[in-house]
């Protein structure tokens, strides 16, 4: 806990002190609190928000709001949907390298979009609280830009999709709040929306489902320590995705921050924090680049329940696709969706729930064994997957757990289930038989495993597996049993998975 508290203090210091020297040069920073203040200040100053039309083959072209000729110069096409990429708080005053990657991904696979990068670096490269206040101004300017497109080109705001990262997510929300009229922006995607100064705020002071016709958010770095988190934890969208629980991400090791600080000083923290915070961006890019490997997420109350595998249902809109290809439905209340991912692109994994009913013959002793599961499918095999029941096994218990696979094994046909360790009970039992010979021939103590029930999240297929040797269902340490699909005389599954 001490190390995490230290990290939180470093994060807090970094958040509030970085760019101090830059702020000394900008005494007249934009500060405001509401829509009218933002509008008045915008009317009295030259806009510092730049709209860059992205093209793969030529340099980005600047569109100047209310200068119609710039739309023609930049080849804005009214028949194409519009995607606006909005960056977040800037530490070094430069556009991050994920932005052109996102823009290029939006142009991939023959997609036909107007892609505009919203460049607000002069307002984002500020003391963090000042940058937070500037999000409202930039939101107002984006709303004004979209209203101008409607007025000058009859281009409906419903064709606009705003993708905002960190502070940019709340910029998108304010754009949706400030745009005039009853019609809404088509879609807003929040990529790990910023947490500091937004967590716990009302829906009018942050990104919310009211800001567009459809709002989705991906939360990747929401772990809170001493009241601080980089990304916001609370739901802010119609569908809120929490990959790997939303706190930490595979391949992003927070404890490496000490080495980074030792080598680079206080700025060494940026790469460590950036990994998990920016993972939201790369998950979205992944959804654009890998149409055949879309990550599925599932509605669940919390990550602990999800880790038991009990939330892999797609009934009544309980699952959805993470990223660009999400199914755009509007639930009455925000839905929290969970999923596991890999540490690198493509991030997709395949989710399986396993339910195993154990009978422990040694009633007075709770066992905490480790098992190895091997899965044989029609396409691939996945071998030696470790499973350790957290609560232990005592008496009769049904243990439910989640297993994820990096590959598509096809239809699961066979399971090999092994109790790891040495056959200690065999030696004990042999000793007992030597002392009490009249018990010879009695069954050795162990675990009874009759069936294994499996549900595949991605296909929603439910399967029940029975011991291959129906006369030998007792499992002992160091033993491995094979389980195959249970069938009755009609060839159907005997037991329904619930």
Q: Which two tokens stand for residue 386?
A: 């470790």
Query: Phi and psi for 484 in degrees, rounded to 5?
Result: -125, 170
Q: Which are the catalytic amino acids? A: 166, 192, 277
Terminal alpha carbon distance of the chain: 40
Q: Which residue has the tokens 């892999």?
A: 312
Q: What is the distance between the alpha carbons of residues 490 and 498, in angstroms, rounded to a whole number?
A: 21
In sequence order, the 6+-apart residues with CB closer than 8 A to the CB of 264 are none
* DSSP β-bridge partners for residue 396: 359
- Answer whether 410's CB lies under 8 Å from 378's CB: yes
Contact between 91 and 19 under an 8 Å Cβ cutoff? The reply is: yes
Q: What secondary structure letter does DSSP report for 266? A: G
Domains in the chain: boundaries = 2-339, 350-485
Q: What does each of the 498 residues of the chain score in pLDDT, given as a tens digit? A: 444 443 443 444 344 444 333 333 333 334 445 656 555 455 545 678 999 999 877 788 999 999 999 999 999 999 999 999 999 999 888 999 999 999 999 998 778 899 999 999 999 999 999 999 999 999 999 999 999 999 999 999 999 999 999 999 999 999 999 999 999 999 999 999 999 999 999 999 999 999 999 999 999 999 875 556 799 999 999 999 999 999 889 988 766 555 655 665 655 566 667 889 999 999 999 999 999 999 999 999 999 999 999 999 999 889 999 999 999 999 989 999 999 999 999 999 999 999 998 887 665 566 778 899 999 999 999 999 999 887 777 778 889 999 999 999 999 999 999 998 654 544 454 454 455 554 444 455 678 888 999 999 999 999 999 998 887 788 888 899 999 999 753 444 444 444
What pLDDT is stored for residue 31 in this prediction? 41
Residue 358 · residue 396 · CB < 8 Å: yes
Q: Are strands 462-467 and 396-405 parallel, antiparallel or unpaired?
A: unpaired
User: Distance between CA atoms of 77 and 71, rounded to whole angstroms?
Assistant: 9
Query: Which pLDDT score, from 0 to 100, does residue 260 have?
Result: 55
Phi, psi of 191 (to 5 degrees): -100, 105
Q: Which pLDDT belongs to residue 397?
A: 82
Pairing of strands 82-86, 114-119: parallel
Looking at residue 400, the DSSP 8-state letter turns out to be: E
Summarize the chain as % helix, strand, coil (round to 5).
30, 25, 45
If you ran DSSP here, which 8-state letter would residue 64 be given? P
- DSSP-assigned beta bridge partners for residue 62: 52
d(CA 199, CA 134): 17
Query: Which of 21, 2, 88, 24 is CA-nearest to residue 273?
Result: 88
Cβ–Cβ contacts within 10 Å for residue 50, how many?
17
Of 120, 76, 84, 119, residue with least CA distance to 102: 84
CB 140 within 8 A of CB 174: yes
Q: Classify residue 205 as exposed, middle or buried by CB count within 10 Å of its CB (0-12, 13-18, 19+).
A: middle
pTM summary value: 0.86
Which is the CATH superfamily of the domain at 2-339? Alpha/Beta hydrolase fold, catalytic domain (3.40.50.1820)
The pLDDT of residue 192 is 98
Closest to 161 (Cα-Cα) out of 298, 326, 338: 326
One-character DSSP codes across 401-449? EEEEESS---SEEEEEEEE-S--HHHHHHHHHHHH-GGGTTSPPP-EEE
Model pLDDT, residue 447: 86
Residue 218 CB contacts under 8 Å (≥ 6 apart), including other chains: 189, 190, 191, 192, 241, 243, 280, 283, 284, 322, 323
CA dihedral 242, 251, 94, 144 (to 10 degrees): -10
Which residues make up each annotated binding site for Ca(2+)?
206, 211
- 3 state DSSP class of 318: coil
For residues 115 and 103, what is the distance between their CA atoms, to the nearest angstrom?
7
Which DSSP category does 279 fall into?
A: H
Asked if 464 and 497 touch (Cβ cutoff 8 Å), the reply is yes
Strands 50-53 vs 61-63: parallel, antiparallel or unpaired:
antiparallel
Asked if 476 contacts 446 with a C-beta cutoff of 8 angstroms, the reply is yes
Contact criterion met (CB below 8 Å) for 160 and 82: yes
Name the residue among 232, 236, 182 with its Cα closest to residue 208: 236
Dihedral sign (CA 372, 377, 382, 383)? positive
The alpha carbon dihedral of 397, 389, 475, 395 has a sign of: negative
Output the CA angle 411-379-347, nearest 5 degrees: 90
- Look at strands 335-339 and 381-387 and give their pairing: unpaired
| 230-to-99, 275, 323 alpha-carbon distances in Å | 20, 12, 21
- Report the alpha-carbon distance of residue 39 to residue 58 in Å, rounded: 34
pLDDT, position 20: 37
Query: What is the distance between the alpha carbons of residues 284 and 152, in angstroms, rounded to a whole number?
Result: 32
Q: How far apart are CA 134 and CA 279, in angstroms?
A: 25
Superfamily of domain 350-485: PLAT/LH2 domain (2.60.60.20)
Give the other-Cβ count within 10 Å of 264's Cβ: 12
């Amino acid at each position: 806990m001490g190390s995490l508290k230290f990290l939180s203090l470093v994060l807090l210091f970094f958040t509030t002190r970085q760019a101090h020297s830059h702020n000394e040069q900008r005494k007249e920073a934009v500060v405001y609190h509401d829509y009218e203040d933002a509008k008045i200040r915008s009317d009295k100053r030259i806009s510092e928000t730049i709209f860059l039309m992205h093209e793969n083959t030529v340099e980005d072209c600047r569109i100047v709001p209310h200068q119609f000729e710039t739309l023609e110069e930049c080849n804005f096409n009214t028949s194409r949907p519009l995607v606006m990429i909005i960056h977040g708080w800037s530490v070094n005053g430069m556009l991050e390298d994920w932005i052109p990657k996102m823009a290029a991904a939006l142009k991939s696979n023959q997609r036909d979009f107007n892609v505009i990068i919203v460049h607000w670096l002069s307002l984002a490269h500020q003391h963090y609280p000042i940058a937070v206040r500037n999000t409202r101004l930039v939101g107002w300017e984006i709303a004004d830009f979209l209203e101008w497109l409607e007025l000058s080109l009859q281009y409906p705001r419903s064709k606009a999709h705003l993708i905002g990262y960190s502070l940019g997510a709340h910029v998108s929300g304010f754009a949706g709040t400030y745009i005039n009229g009853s019609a809404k922006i088509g879609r807003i995607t929040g990529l790990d929306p910023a947490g500091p100064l937004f967590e716990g705020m009302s829906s009018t002071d942050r990104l919310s489902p009211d800001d567009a016709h459809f709002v989705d958010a991906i939360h990747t770095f929401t772990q809170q320590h001493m009241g601080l988190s980089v990304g916001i934890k609370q739901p802010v969208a119609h569908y809120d995705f929490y990959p790997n629980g939303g706190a930490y991400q595979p391949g992003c090791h927070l404890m490496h921050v000490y080495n980074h600080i030792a080598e680079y000083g206080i700025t060494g923290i940026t790469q460590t924090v950036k990994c998990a915070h920016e993972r939201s961006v790369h998950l979205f890019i992944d959804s654009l680049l890998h149409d055949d490997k879309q990550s599925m997420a599932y509605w669940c109350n919390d990550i602990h329940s999800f880790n038991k595998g009990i939330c892999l249902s797609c009934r009544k809109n309980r699952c959805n696709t993470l990223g660009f290809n999400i199914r755009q439905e509007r639930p009455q209340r925000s839905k929290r969706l969970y999923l596991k991912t890999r540490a690198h692109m493509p991030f997709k994994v395949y989710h399986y729930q396993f339910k195993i009913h154990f009978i422990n013959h040694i009633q007075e002793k709770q066992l905490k064994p480790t098992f190895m599961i091997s899965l044989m499918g029609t396409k691939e095999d996945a071998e030696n997957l470790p499973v350790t029941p957290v609560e232990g096994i005592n008496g009769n218990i049904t243990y439910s757990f989640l297993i994820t696979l990096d590959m598509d094994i096809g239809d699961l046909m066979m399971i090999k289930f092994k109790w790891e360790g040495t056959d200690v009970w065999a030696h004990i039992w042999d000793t007992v038989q030597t002392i009490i010979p009249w018990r010879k021939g009695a069954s050795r103590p162990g675990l009874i495993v009759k069936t294994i029930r499996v549900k595949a999240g991605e296909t929603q297929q439910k399967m029940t597996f029975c011991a291959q040797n129906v006369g030998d269902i007792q499992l002992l340490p160091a033993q491995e049993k094979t389980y195959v699909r249970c069938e009755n005389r009609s060839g159907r599954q005997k037991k329904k998975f619930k």
